[in-house]
Amino acid sequence: MSKKSNYKNLLVVESPAKAKTINKYLGTDFKVMATVGHVIDLPKSKLGVDVENEYEPLFETIRGKGTILKELKKAIPPKGDVYLAMDPDREGEAIAWHVQNHLKIKGAKRVTFHEITKSAVLEAIKKPVKVSEDLVEAQKARRVLDRLFGYKLSELLWKKIWYGLSAGRVQSIALRLVVEKEEEREEFKPEEYWNFFVHIKKEKEKLVIKLLKRDGKKYIPASEKEVKDIQGDLKESKYEVVDIVKKQMNKNPYPPYTTSTLQQSGNNVLGYSAKRTMALAQSLYQSGHITYMRTDSVYLAQKAINEIRDVIVKKYGKEYLPEKSKYYKNKSKNAQEAHEAIRPTDFSITSTEIRSKMGSAQASLYDLIWKRAVSSQVAQKQVENLTIYFEPVKKLKNIYTFSVGAQKVLFDGFRVVYGKGNSENDVLQEISGIQKGNIFSKEKFEVEQKFTQPRARYTEATLVKKLESLGVGRPSTYATIIGTIQSREYVTKDGKYLLPTDIGRVVTHFLKDNFADLVDYEYTADVEDRLDKIAQGKLEYVPFMDKEYKPLMKNIKKALKDVEKEDVVILGKSDEKCPVCGGKMIVRLGRYGKFLSCSKFPECKGMKDLEGGADSLDYDKYLKVEECPECGANMILKSGKYGKFWACEKYPECKGTLPLLLQEKCPQCGKSLVERTSKWGKKFIGCSGYPDCKYIKKEKKKEEESKG
């Protein structure tokens, strides 16, 4: 008897990990197989869209997936059913459609579940539907639109800047945000201001009060002169308590995670990139531990709420259980990617169990998800804010107002899930006995000179939040968007902050000048809305594509005619003289950043490093490389896609290169150490002899550093 006859039904998913988990829940009647992602897509090396024939996509089998499709074809049972159980979103729907069409499966059953548990899988099998043509059409529209924009704009960038650049529809918005934030910071002019404090006392009670108002209006001194004038006014004045305000406030818990908020917490709390957060979440989902991780819904199923309420009573006590369950409203007007928020599938499973099975990274993310979901159903946090207002006595009364305040936690509420802190602070204990009319004498003045700071650069977390607020992209796209602008080297990282590169700025300004709609926030959000209408069957594919593609090509033709390459890549003049011919030099943008180029280029190829070349390097930290390891010629310092490096002066005849070598030597093999970056973007120091020597310098623990 053949293997084929051992089962009656075939169930197809896209992930081998997902297939492994589901296989545990289905009996011998089912064979579970995986497509390993997409099997059909647009070709890589050409446009792949027939724009003259209603934008028909010319889909083809992805290289290497032909074998998988053949195996799926062989596995189709002659009399049983084929279930297509790809992820419950448009991309999953498209994969199901491609498999169904390519294998010519008649009567294929589409099943979806938002958690890979036995009950969810078996329930889905009982309620199969047909593949949704509308969802497939919406995904096709997105894929084709992004291909047309990316392909056509990239061709233009090759002609007007240089070969190899690329542009994307949504990525260009993210890049614009980063560029404009940096330019806003560069234009920012700091303004001086001063904090004014008075140390006061009454018998054993000592306080520090801060200047709050002048003549009844909020007031912050703007100069040292103003500070001295205030000191001159106040002199040795005493201070009377004129008002005591107590206010009780309730703080509601946060809703459970959506894709966006999970990525933000992953970045803020754990330091993970959006890409890594999603990869870890996917592994947790595929192993059956959390619900589907691509969602913009904050809804929790009643079954999950009941489980959480049981956890609250057993783990924290009845006083933490609100009388009624909490329900949250979706902020996203098109929350359709999944029906539930991200939550554990079984709240009895702890992060310790996840750590033993899957590793510490997955456990840390699971712990965030567990705490967020559970805390969303815990009672409010209750606090009491106490503010005491002081005024100088006698003639200065009603002119200057000072204050001191504190907060008392009356009931920690949902914060209990995250661990209890101190219920009271020291300041509250100091001021709780003060009464209206009390008089304090002055001990001393204390002043602080401050300067206003520009708004912080974007982190991955704040960029995701901004994209979501603008309605740009969808939950499944944020990680890809942010990863793409970094892999294209339009954006780099300084610690956790995102900075635009020179080429990122040039591409952004080129697009803003010639394709205003493409990088317009409202326009891009409107495209997302119309893609949603296609998914809802309210808008047709061809009219949608016409509205986007025809204006794009009109603008491209205009840019081809009007924009000169030199206007884009020449950034300004320089007082430097060409080292080859002595002529004038200009600031030109190259593949790896700005540099000085002879104004007579291409007749004269003289150039200089804008940052001072080898003379600008810190030789207390780095080795100076004199000779080429290949031919013995002189080495010069150059800038590349991964930063500065040493290169032979005889390039391209000799291609000898070396990285920036540190003065510090490897303790294992004696070679120089070098600074490297991991695939997750984390910087570390390792041996330059890698892979022969795999030494990595360990970071000092914070407590050791503080002792030193």
Q: What is the set of active-site residues?
A: 292
**Which residue's structure tokens are 């011998």?**
28
Cis (ω within 30 of 0) for the bond into 253? no
Please tell me the distance from the alpha carbon of residue 659 to that of residue 681, in angstroms, as a whole number.
18
Taking the alpha carbons of 198, 203, 206, 210 in that order, is the dihedral positive or negative? negative
Give the position of tokens 């070396």: 658
706 phi and psi angles, rounded to 5 deg: -65, -35
Long-range contacts of 482-491 (CB under 8 A, 24+ apart): 482/174, 482/273, 482/274, 482/275, 483/273, 483/274, 483/275, 484/168, 484/171, 485/171, 485/174, 485/175, 485/178, 486/681, 488/165, 488/166, 488/171, 489/641, 490/175, 491/175, 491/178
List 494's β-bridge partners, or say none.
Answer: 497
Q: Is the peptide bond before 78 cis (omega within 30 degrees of 0)?
A: no
Give the residue from 115, 116, 88 showing the smallest Cα distance to 22.
Answer: 116
Kindly write down the DSSP assignment for every residue of 546-566, as one continuous string. Answer: HHHHHHHHHHHHHHHHH--HH
Long-range contacts (CB closer than 8 Å, 24 or more residues apart) made by 602-605: 604/578, 604/580, 605/580
Decide: helix, strand or coil at residue 600.
coil
Distance set, CA 166 to CA 268, 302, 504, 507 (Å): 30, 47, 11, 9
In whole angstroms, give the CA distance from residue 19 to residue 71.
15
CA pseudo-torsion sign 449, 451, 452, 455: negative
Long-range contacts of 498-501 (CB under 8 A, 24+ apart): 498/178, 498/457, 498/458, 498/459, 498/460, 498/463, 499/178, 499/182, 499/457, 500/175, 500/178, 500/179, 500/182, 501/593
User: Do residues 387 and 403 make contact, with C-beta atoms less than 8 angstroms apart?
Assistant: yes
- Ranges of beta strands (E only) in 123-262 are 192-202, 205-214, 217-218, 239-251
* DSSP-derived 3-state class of residue 33: strand
Backbone angles phi, psi at 250, to 5 degrees: -110, 135
Report the C-alpha gap between 68 and 39 in whole angstroms: 8
For 631, the token pair is 């031919």
